[in-house]
Amino acid sequence: MLVEYTEPRSRSIGSLYLMPGINQVDDKRWDFITKESLFRNPVKMMINGGLLVVTDDREKLTIAMVEKTYDIELLSEWLANPKNKGPLRGAIRKQMQVLEVEEAI
């Protein structure tokens, strides 16, 4: 599952750590946090307030989603997927280069 965190800072919700932008979250962990834990109501408030946007990871990947992703591992996964072709692959490579440059600074 993909979860977009719209705040400019990182946040921890129990054992779940969210960076700004698109984050990949294990379905079992998300179900636990949203259904069985003490964080259920705060997470619902964050979704209703627009701080969290939940997307099915089977949804078609877009360039806009790539530009909001700051996780190099997730970008590498997307780059390795043969379904992602053309301008989308270029956007993934560009985002990875941007992140590598920022890490070097």
Q: What is the pLDDT of residue 49?
A: 96
Q: How far apart are CA 31 and CA 52, in angstroms?
A: 15
Question: Residue 101 has what pLDDT?
Answer: 77
pLDDT at 105: 61
Q: Assign 73 to helix, strand or coil.
A: helix
Instruction: Report d(CA 49, CA 43) in Å as an integer.
Output: 10
Q: Mind listing the pLDDT tens digit of every residue in the chain (105 residues)?
A: 999 999 999 999 988 999 999 999 999 999 999 888 889 999 999 999 999 999 887 789 999 999 999 999 999 999 999 999 999 999 999 999 999 877 766
Domain ranges in the chain are 1-59, 60-105
What does the alpha-carbon distance between residue 64 and residue 87 come to, in Å, rounded to a whole number? 12
Q: Kindly state the DSSP code that residue 35 receives in the 8-state scheme.
A: I
The alpha-helical segments, DSSP class H, found in 4-104 are: 27-31, 40-48, 63-67, 72-80, 87-104
